[in-house]
Structure 1
Amino acid sequence: MKYSLIKKIILFIFLCFIPIALSSPHALTEGSQELESMGQDGIIVLNYHKIDNMDISLSVRPEDFDKQMAYLKNNNYHIITPDDLYDNLEHGKELPSNPVVITFDDGYEDNYKNAYPILKKYGFPATIFVVSSFVSQYPNYLTWDQCRELKANGISIQSHTVSHRSLTELTNEQIKNEITESKKKIDAELGQDTTYFAYPTGTYNLYVAQMLKDAGYRAAFTIKYGTAGSSSNIFALERIPVFHTENTYNSFCKRLNYIPLFEKLGWIKS
């Protein structure tokens, strides 16, 4: 009981210190290496949606995204693929220090127009989870030709269902259709074996996870906040969402550095 109280006191003091540290003129400047990675035991999986200038939480401005990618490049983070993550969690493959997976949900066209050139600039791979029935059908979503170009240049295209409905609200037959038909469509269009999945709205249960496994997927990503590690369910992998905020760059750096630290200290559980 006494130890738990001490931890809470230390956490309170530390949280009070963060705003002071980050408000200093040396903290979190563009391209800064002042705030170095505090070490991470798990794998950070960043979760983006839109990269554009819309004034909504899901839209990270291109200039902010560029700053974030520069921060990763300049601060000893190493961008890995979902295959690397899977091989580490399932087979113990060694990873570089401070591994990060970059993911996008929904398959917006701005991922191609705005995020893709920046990712190429820094030589970073990424993964886009597309809603298969939206591709080449709706304005502001990717086309299959764009997906093919992305795939040819290090951007993996994976499944986010057929229609972006919450799977836990569907019948068994509907769930199976969303899982299998999206995979079939992506496989046919891109000539690949689609093996990764992101849950629409983040909703899932163990039954849905088993259906994914039966359909041939290797892993699935949630919107559960935290880092992925040895204690993670391979079909319920944690991610760290990145949103547009009053100071998007500062928010990004705080999440990148302090969430893994809190997990390491046992103050939050992934």
Structure 2
Amino acid sequence: MTRARVPILMYHAVTADPDDATRTLSVTPEAFAEQLAVIADRGLTPLTTADLAARWRTGRPLPVRPVLITFDDGYEGVHRHALPALTRHGFPATLFVTTGWIRGAHDTGGGPDTMLDWRQVRRLAESGVEIGGHSHTHPQLDQVGDARLDAELIRSRDIVTGELGAPPASFAYPYGYSSRRVRTAVRGHGFAQALAVGNSLARRAQGPYALRRVTVRRATDAEEFERLLDGRAIGRTFARDRALTKGYAVVRRTRGLRRPV
């Protein structure tokens, strides 16, 4: 299975009433439940991020039809709506928390919608959801200086470790942006693997620090969701996103030349 192409699904908020900031990247609880039913009906086997990476790292075989269910940021609906649906199917998942956005201790504010609190994060972990890092304040990590980069990674790692009793093994880059410098820092601060976006299927050849995901959003209907699982017409589905990303890359490269030390 070394040439396997694995769909890693990227979710954000699961809510019937999203804020404007999260509307596009949210899904309704009903849509999420229907998507899990499709995964179950088609005989796919969900894995955590750590499990997938460990299998590729050691050569242990993958299930015949693996899939990953991941959530970014730490929205409250992951506990309220997604966890019951995951539990009904017995599916594991991975949640990447922006530690400064989680309510309670360490909260620096800035969360774009209603966020989880640490009690809910612990409940998710106890229920089989892998908890990974997603920085502390959600900056574009390739645009910050080395000191800020290290601080974001260390604080994220240490807070998750302190709250859950074990260090996070996996990381997801805020906005999906990384660079060789960022990936080296993520590895150096103890994360064993990391996820980008890319909107294509993950392959072992991408390496453990640049595994790609596909975005599930409010406009993803049943037909498109099945295409994402199969890897069919993904290029066409995200053509506009990729065009915008290429244009923005020029701006980001210019900003990177002025990156603070």
TM class, shorter-length: 0.7 to 0.9
* 1:256 CA displacement: 1.4
TM-score by length of 1: 0.78
Write the mapping of 1:181-220 to structure 2, written as runs, cut at 5 A. 181-220=155-194
Farther-moved stretch of structure 1 (176-185 vs 47-56): 47-56
Q: Contact 2:140/2:177 (CA < 8 Å) preserved in 1? A: yes
Deviations 1:11-54 (A, max 9, x none): xxxxxxxxxxxxxxxxxxxxxxxxxxxxx921211100011123
Alignment partner, residue 48 of structure 2: 81
Report the residue type matching 1:141 in the other structure.
M
- Alignment-mate amino acid for residue 8 of structure 2: V
**2:87 is the counterpart of 1:113:** no
* Pick aligned residue for 1:135 from 91, 95, 102: 102
Which structure 2 residues correspond to residues 202-241 of structure 1 after superposition, within 5 A?
Answer: 202-241=176-215
Correspondence for 2:60 = 93
Say which of 45, 64, 79 aligns to 2:8: 45
Gaps of 5+ in 2: 236-261
CA deviation after TM superposition for structure 1 residue 221, in Å: 0.4
CA contact (8 A) 1:42 1:260 kept: no
CA distance in 2, matches of 1:112, 1:174: 30
CA pair 194-161 structure 1, distance change in 2 beyond 3 A: same
The answer for the alignment partner of 1:154 in structure 2 is: 128
Preserved contact between residue 104 and residue 127 of structure 1 (Cα < 8 Å): yes
Quote the offset at 1:261 in angstroms.
Answer: 9.4
Shift of 1:118: 0.6
- 5+ residue gaps, structure 1, are 1-39, 263-270
Q: CA RMSD in A?
A: 1.8
Are residues 259 and 176 of structure 1, via their aligned partners in 2, closer, same or farther at CA, if it must alter by over 3 Å? farther
Letter matched to residue 153 of structure 2: I
Is the 2:25–2:217 contact (alpha carbons within 8 Å) kept by the matching residues of 1? yes
The one-letter code sitting in structure 1 at the alignment partner of 2:158 is K
For the pair 1:255 / 2:228, whether they are aligned, the reply is: yes
1:170-185 paired onto structure 2 within 5 Å: 170-185=144-159
What code does the residue aligned with 1:83 have? A
Percent pairwise identity: 30
Alignment match, 2:25: 58
3-state secondary structure, aligned to 1:50:
coil
Q: Which runs of 4+ in 1 moved over 3 A?
A: 258-262
> What is the number of equivalent residue pairs in this alignment?
222
